[in-house]
Amino acid sequence: MRKIILIAYLVSFLQNIGVAQSILPANQPALIPFPAKWAPAPGINQLHSEKDINWIQDSSIVNPEGYRLQIRPEKVVVYYREPAGAFYAKQTLQQLKNTDGSLPCLDIEDAPRFPYRGMHLDVARHFFPVEFIKEYIDLLAMHKMNYFHWHLTEDQGWRIEIKKYPRLQEVSAWRKETLVGHYSDQPHQFDGQLYGGYYTQEEIREVVQYARERFVTIIPEIEMPGHAQALLAAYPELSCHGQPVEVATEWGVFENVLCPTEETFTFMENVLLEVMDLFPGPYIHIGGDECPKIQWKESAFCQELMKKEGLKDENELQSYFIRRIDRFLTEHGRKLVGWDEILEGGLSPNATVLSWRGMQGGIDAAQGGHDVIMAPTSHCYFDYYQSKHPNEPLAIGGYLPLEKVYAFEPVPETLSQEEAMHILGAQGNVWTEYIPTTEQVEYMAFPRALALAEVLWSPLSKRDFLSFQNRLAQYLPKLDIHYADHLFDIRYELDGAALLLSNRMGLPMWVQAGGQSPALYTQPIPILTDTRIQAWRAAADGEPIGRLLDLDFHTHAAFGKRVTWTTPPHPNYQLGGTQALTNGILGNKNRYGDGEWLGWWGSDVELEVDLQEPQSIQNLQLRFFQSQGQWIYLPREVELFYSDDGIQFQSVAREAMPSTAESVLSFGLTFPETKARYWKMVITRFGKIPDGAQGAGNEAWIFLDEWILAP
């Protein structure tokens, strides 16, 4: 495997990134991330070696990671307070360097906006070699990110050697097989291949030192009390039932969790002693998320412990567990970090909250005086799909494009200035259920990690997505990794019955509609009947460049018509807007985050469409997505109404939803022919997820794509 070495020690692979100045505003430095202050100066510096750089330590620089940079024709001067500042100045010099080795003359005064700038990697679902972990750290460091959250244990595998408990590497590190395809595919299929691996303590010490030299602090995560099935496969006596279990072979949340006995606490404290010896950084992540309470409710020991400790429910029992571990870590000079579920039942006194289920957990923690790292699914989950293109590799779901990452603001407006000081920063998460290779890790993480790097380093006033994408377009080809090139993807939207195409860079596009000859796109394309339209970026000779846009349109009475909703979709799943319900494009059958599916959570669905003139209708067709492992259920029933004036509606059809295991259900209603202009639909939600299912007790989601009305 190739190995990336930063110039601070050998040679960075960014040595010749030379960004074409013609695509940038005048005198704008081509930096990722963007500096706090800069000013152009006349001339060019021809930097021959690091001996030509004057390094001056300056205690007047406030931020320990900050620096000042002066580039003149005759010299380069770097002012820094701490070694980290000097390191980041070197990264800036590399990013500024032209292909001929010269540097533009300018002044830069730079420092990060946030002290915590992180990326996460799950190595438990899929395991990656030490050399790739080093490469990942290099990529973080060269983009001025300073924390690596190493997710080392899970239900599906334990990846760290613990010498006191050798069965963790002998048993817990290996699963007998792995799920093939998506979790929502039924029935589940498996590959039948033994899978696993772990890092020796010697390898971990090597990686920790490697990261330290690049000013990256590693945060290890040891999951507890949930996500512990792999551990319990080796040591079942730590569960509440003591029965043998296997290392999990599929994804999801499992009921087998640690029992809060003294034996369990002794075991986990011994594990943490070895972990702390390996990782000298201030933070130890203990998970604390998605811990089912079923076995605790059934355990006589747990119920007796709750009475003894005065705990009112199992949430407080989890808080008791976390507080015990927090006290142990604090006694050893470390800080506990946990996912935002650790707020439930009361937060441990010294805990730092990693807020993933949205921003509210972080808000609550900051208002309570606790430090917070923001990583909401809405902006920071890089295992989500990043493009609506149908050929994207299989992912868990969701949709998180580059521009949404760049639009992330980690500090909620609801916080006071004092409370906002508790927002340390943010991190991007890369969960690997559906990421089996190092190439796919790179594809899913980059360039979204670059957008997050700029969010976390650069002043809010300097952030400009147009500037960022222009710089990125020239920067990405210089990265020797398998990044995702979606910058040039063609975008589409429907304006009434006309298709509008665009791309970020304003490049020429060619289109082919139906069986017609290809033509240069110059104006919106009218969609008058069922048709297939293909579009591509154009080379000089008209040959396709990059990915083809391929759309099949299915016209119907409501095609291109305006839909209004009484109950809007969840903000995370309304990307396509009301247009997605009548644009004639069916949602992807394998993923609900493609912009065509709209998602509702915790409410019934009520929609209206104006056909603009009375039309005779006798058929309704809908498509619902179902993936119960991801809390997506079919609704209870659908009822259709009509109206002549848009005010008084009458019911014309109502039917309960059939029971099926299909991931996409095509649902139809046929009724007596009815002529009307206005139509309304009410979809009754499933409600609470039943006990024993993933997400039990939470509201189920409804996902709907096209609303088809036909004669």
Q: What is the pLDDT of residue 9?
A: 31
Q: Give domain 21-30+37-110's CATH number out of 3.30.379.10, 1.10.1240.10, 1.10.3720.10, 3.90.700.10.
A: 3.30.379.10
Which range (206-220, 275-289, 321-335, 459-473) has the least confidence?
459-473
Per the model's pLDDT, the better-predicted residue between 173 and 11 turns out to be 173
Mean pLDDT calculated for residue range 273-293:
97
Q: What kind of fold does domain 116-478 have according to CATH?
A: TIM Barrel (3.20.20)
The CATH architecture to which 562-710 belongs is Sandwich (2.60)
Taken in order 612, 614, 620, 621, the sign of the CA dihedral is negative
The residue with tokens 């760290």 is 160
Q: How far is CA 86 from CA 6, 11, 137, 523, 628, in A?
A: 13, 16, 18, 52, 51
Q: For the structural domain made of 490-553, what CATH number should be given?
A: 2.60.40
608 band by pLDDT with thresholds 50, 70 and 90: very high
489 band by pLDDT with thresholds 50, 70 and 90: confident
Q: What are the tokens at 494?
A: 């429907």
339 band by pLDDT with thresholds 50, 70 and 90: very high
503 band by pLDDT with thresholds 50, 70 and 90: confident
477 band by pLDDT with thresholds 50, 70 and 90: confident
Question: How would you class 435 by CB atoms within 10 Å of its CB: exposed for 0-12, middle for 13-18, buried for 19 or more?
Answer: buried
pLDDT tens for residues 398-427? 889 999 999 999 999 999 999 999 999 999
What are the boundaries of each domain within the chain? 21-30+37-110, 116-478, 490-553, 562-710
pLDDT tens for residues 701-710? 999 999 999 9
Taken in order 80, 85, 91, 96, the sign of the CA dihedral is negative
User: Which residue in 409, 468, 378 sits closest to 114, CA to CA?
Assistant: 409
Amino acid symbol at 424: L
Residue 8 reports pLDDT greater than 60:
no
Three-state secondary structure call for residue 371: coil
CA 689 – CA 202 distance, rounded (Å):
45
Q: Mind giving me the DSSP string for 433-491? A: TT--SHHHHHHHHTTHHHHHHHHHHS-GGG--HHHHHHHHHHHGGGS-S-----TT-EE
